[in-house]
Amino acid sequence: SVGSALTVTPPSYHGENRSEGSEAVPDVHNVFISHRHEDDALVSDLKSLLADRNVAIRDSSITSETPNNANNEAYIKSTILAPNINWAGKVIVIITPDTKNHQWVDWEIEYAEKQGKEIIGVWAPGSEGCDVPEPLEQHADSIVSWDADRIVGALEGNQKWEQPDGTPRTPQFVNRVGC
């Protein structure tokens, strides 16, 4: 999830899908979408999927549309990723066959958990049979299929544990401790 040009902080609020003159006001969710940069197209696909359900995603993640030029790992974490995750109310992790063991996705999940963020895993299309990143397995509040209603439900706090095809999977019990 680290791109190739400097991002602006506070994060740009791209992805607002508000229609001019529309009577229905969308539900707006401020999220950080954790993903591999090779999966940037899935970020747009996810926003489009949810826009069809009148849900607008204000996304602070780093994509090819909002890349960064940084190459210092500590700088990327403290100055780019951490503020964007802190701004977000929730973190969505797009699960693909190559998400497991991706150092940046793992760090984003672990950081989000330390900040008390709700973490939602979303299986990407074609992800059947792939492994869930270990930090997501340990810290997710929900893992749902690529289905707008299920994703919206997870954003609204309905905890579900699903396989990529939407069938139930064994839930992980998350022990969160408040301060």
Flag whether pLDDT at 1 surpasses 70. no
| Structure confidence at residue 171 (pLDDT) | 63
pLDDT tens for residues 68-117?
A: 767 888 988 998 899 999 999 999 999 999 898 889 999 999 999 999 99
**pTM of full prediction above 0.85:** no
Residue 3 pLDDT greater than 50, yes or no: no
Cis omega before residue 83 (within 30°)?
Answer: no
What is the pLDDT averaged over residues 28-37? Answer: 89
- How is residue 173 written in tokens? 């019990």
Q: Which residue has the tokens 């990143």?
A: 133
Where residue 37 falls among pLDDT bands split at 50, 70, 90? confident
Position 40 confidence tier, pLDDT thresholds 50, 70, 90: confident
Please state the three-class secondary structure of the chain as a single string.
CCCCCCCCCCCCCECCCCCCCCCCCCEEEEEEEECCHHHHHHHHHHHHHHHCCCEEEEECCCCCCCCCCCCCHHHHHHHHHHHHHHHCCEEEEEECCCCCCCHHHHHHHHHHHHCCCEEEEEECCCCCCCCCCHHHHHHCCEEECCCHHHHHHHHCCCCCEECCCCCECCCCCCCCCCC
All residues at 6 or more sequence positions from 39 whose CB lies less than 8 Å from its CB, including other chains: 94, 96, 98, 99, 124
Q: Are 146 and 122 in contact (CB under 8 A)?
A: yes
